[in-house]
Amino acid sequence: MTSKLESLNQWVADVAQLTQPDAIHWCDGSDAESAALKAHMLADGTLIELNQHTHPGSTLHRSHPDDVARVEHLTFVCTPEREDAGPNNHWMAPSEAHAKIDALFDGCMRGRTLYVIPYCMGPIDSPLSRCGVEITDSPYVVANMRIMTRMGAPALARIEREGHFVKGLHSTGELDPNRRFIMHFPQELTIKSFGSGYGGNALLGKKCHALRIASHQARQEGWLAEHMLILGIENPQGDTHYIAAAFPSACGKTNLAMLIPPEGYLKDGWKVWTIGDDICWMRPGPDGRLYAINPEAGFFGVAPGTSKKSNPNALASIQSNTIFTNVGVTADNQPWWEGIDNGQAPMTDWQGQPYNPAVRPAAHPNSRFTVSAKQCPSYSDMAEDPHGVPISAIVFGGRRASLVPLVFEARDWTHGVLVGAAMGSETTAAATGAVGVMRRDPMAMKPFCGYNFADYFGHWLSFDQPGAQLPKVFHVNWFRKGDDGKFLWPGFGDNLRVLEWMINRVDGKVGVQATPIGNLPIEADLNLDGVTLSDEAHAKLFGIDHAGWQAEFASIGDYLAEYGPRLPQALKDEQQRIAQALG
């Protein structure tokens, strides 16, 4: 099989000449192909069959111990001018980068099959979707891409129709950490990844295409590619509002995307629908509103901590037809991870050794599940709508133990862009030695924006045009702590109370308490039925500390200055205006 598109055939031929595979397989995405690949991986040990009675169709993959996460220090954005990549990216000149990584690709597929994966990010017939082709020597990557994208013959047909696509070349190489690079060439719409089989480094449709390359495409074409979940909130009257939300890792994105309403809300008829848990592409529609699609077709979620209590919808999603990576297994071959809380115990750890908690955890802290989004109980068919869903609100949020209230609303779009640009999260003990270190992570895009953040902020500001019906922008903080170090807000399903207030703001049903940092809720407008908050919680969740915010805005000013003269003046002006208002 080849393509009707000459440029695609030529590229595959050129890669084959460089990498020297024993065979070339063009993926059609069929069930028969998937079954044959799976049988091949079970036979050679790439996949291990799990308990087919409890987890039908599910398998386990064990990575090389040195290949278990994204490698940001080896991830490069290769633009002709260093300034275009910005201080937010590692940079390498394109000619140097191609030479360096092509030397690694030379002959690397001898004894292996080269797989050609045509894929579509987003609904196959959506004008908001974009296509790519990944060449890989990893059948594990093929199996994951089949779940995570619209992969195969329909995608190839669209690529042939459109005549252009993002090129992704991947090889696991020898899995040597010293021979590993993930290179992005935005101007060439090309990705090259060598030496890793881990999802974020190897599933090139995911972070590499859907964020780093797509953010560049989006800037050129007038849309936004964002690290955001998308959820729908349906009220008892049957009206649905869609919200996009950006949180850094470990701040509950998947939990919010699959939120289950509190009991009182369920009785009243509220429903929450999941469109996506990780990536959001937004484009202005004919009515001036932003319309969003989830470019992914599946979830590549973190397993540890997923339980019936923390995220029942996620747990329900992964009971069948799931690829688990780097989890432990029980005596009867069921997947197990820390925090699953199901009364079972692991027998074998993620490296295939007898479980010994003194040696290592049963599941790697970054162990994963790959599953079709359609298996989620809260999945919405609107995820396949080619027009996308209209976004009523954009939410930013991080993990802040102090200072930041439960929720506030930006006064206008420019203020909203500043809120996103300045957002940060405090490190946890699990992540680093230092607890409570505040790191800025603009729009949760720090590891993923494919160009200079100063230009990216300018691109966001550019959407404020005459006739635009832009979403309201909010900031939330589920993680405010009291003097005793305990969380002041219950979180999880109760976060719907905050989302309801946002929707009421969008609909003009409630007022606000205006402050220099933004509009805070009037506490009586939040439905707190069944929630008990201490006096300290009331004061800290719904109030502002002027002195603390003065220091914060001085810090934000210093942070923005790091981007130099390319930073939009409007953002500097907004920071100074608020700093002055705080006195």
- Give the model confidence (pLDDT) of 239-252 as tens digits: 999 999 999 987 88
- In DSSP notation, 448-472 reads T-SS-HHHHHHHHHTT--TT--PPE
Amino acid code (one letter) for 425: S
- Helix residue spans in 45-175 (DSSP H): 82-85, 94-105, 139-148, 153-162
235: annotated binding-site residue?
Answer: no
Number of Cβ within a 10 Å radius of residue 96: 11
Which single residue is written with the structure tokens 């275009």?
84
- In DSSP notation, 295-308 reads --SEEEEE-TT--T
* The two structure tokens encoding residue 274: 């999941």
Distant-in-sequence, close-in-space partners of 10: CB < 8 Å, separation ≥ 6: none
Res 2: pLDDT: 87
Among 369, 424, 415, smallest CA distance to 246 is for 424
The residues pairing with 425 across neighbouring beta strands, listed in sequence order, are 439
Among 334, 336, 338, smallest CA distance to 361 is for 338
Res 430: pLDDT: 43
Amino acid code (one letter) for 478: W
168: annotated binding-site residue?
Answer: no
200: annotated binding-site residue?
Answer: yes
Res 428: pLDDT: 57
Judged against a pLDDT cut of 70, whether residue 256 lies above it is answered with: yes
**How long is the chain?**
583
- Residues 494-549 have pLDDT tens digits of 999 999 999 999 999 999 999 999 999 999 999 999 999 999 999 999 999 999 99
85: annotated binding-site residue?
Answer: no
Q: pLDDT band for 435, please (50, 70, 90 cuts).
A: low
| 208 assigned to active site | no
Percentage of residues in the chain having pLDDT higher than 90: 96
Amino acid code (one letter) for 416: G
pTM of this structure: 0.97
84: annotated binding-site residue?
Answer: no
Lowest mean pLDDT among 33-47, 132-146, 241-255, 278-292: 241-255
Q: Is 123 left (phi over 0), alpha (psi -120 to 50) or beta?
A: beta
Q: What domains are there in the chain, each with its CATH number? A: 6-45+68-222 (3.40.449.10), 226-297+381-581 (3.90.228.20), 298-375 (2.170.8.10)
494: annotated binding-site residue?
Answer: yes
Q: Cβ-count burial of 572 within 10 angstroms (0-12 exposed, 13-18 middle, 19+ buried)?
A: middle
Judged against a pLDDT cut of 90, whether residue 150 lies above it is answered with: yes
Phi then psi for 201, rounded to 5 degrees?
-95, -20
Catalytic residue among 251, 280, 376, 449: 251
CA distance 428 to 438: 10
Judged against a pLDDT cut of 70, whether residue 205 lies above it is answered with: yes
